[in-house]
């Protein structure tokens, strides 16, 4: 009886099943990674807002007022790239020479389509920013940072 020549290896069905499993695992990993990226961007936003608020409080302590801006400005761009003394103009461009600098680089939102905006009067200010992911302590959405607190239309934190 002649010997059959059977090659050892995987069948097409077995290869397709392995490829399908790899695609499913990769999809799950990508979804989890995107969620973690959004959380990281939100953490950066929280840190940025804390730093900006601290600089504004130092400014207020020295100048007895907050930078006055009637129309909302986008922080970190144009004429709002750094925070200097009132004599230097408050929020100024990066090239402006200042006598006293409260914040040498105003941070920008990690996503360019949702910038931090600032409006301010002598007695107070409002910084608006947007978070992406809901956490145990706060829902996602639009937030307002003031000299006293940070709040959202649906609650405080």
DSSP conformational letter for 153: T
pTM: 0.78
Residue spans per domain, the chain: 14-156
Please, which residues have CB within 8 angstroms of residue 10's CB and are 6 or more apart in sequence?
A: 18
pLDDT one digit per residue (tens) for the chain, 157 residues: 566 666 677 888 999 999 999 999 999 888 888 888 999 999 999 999 999 999 999 999 999 999 999 899 999 999 999 999 999 999 999 999 999 999 999 999 999 889 999 999 989 999 999 999 887 677 888 999 998 888 875 544 4
Please, which residues have CB within 8 angstroms of residue 117's CB and are 6 or more apart in sequence?
A: 72, 73, 74, 75, 127, 128, 129
Q: How far, in Å, CA of 155 to CA of 157, rounded?
A: 7
């Amino acid at each position: 009886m002649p010997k059959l020549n059977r090659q050892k290896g995987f069948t097409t069905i077995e290869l397709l099943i392995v490829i399908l499993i790899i695609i499913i695992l990769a999809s799950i990993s990508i979804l989890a990674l995107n969620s973690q990226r959004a959380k990281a961007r939100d953490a950066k936003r929280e840190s940025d807002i804390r730093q900006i608020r601290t600089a504004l409080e130092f400014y207020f302590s020295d100048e007895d007022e907050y930078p006055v801006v009637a129309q909302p400005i986008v922080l970190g761009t144009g004429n709002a790239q750094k925070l200097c003394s009132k004599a230097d103009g408050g929020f100024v461009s990066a090239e402006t020479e200042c006598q006293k600098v409260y914040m040498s680089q105003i941070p920008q939102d990690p996503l360019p389509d949702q910038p931090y905006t600032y409006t301010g009067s002598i007695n107070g200010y409002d910084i608006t920013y947007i978070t992406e992911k809901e956490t145990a302590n706060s829902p996602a959405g639009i937030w307002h940072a003031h000299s006293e607190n940070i709040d959202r239309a649906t609650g405080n934190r």
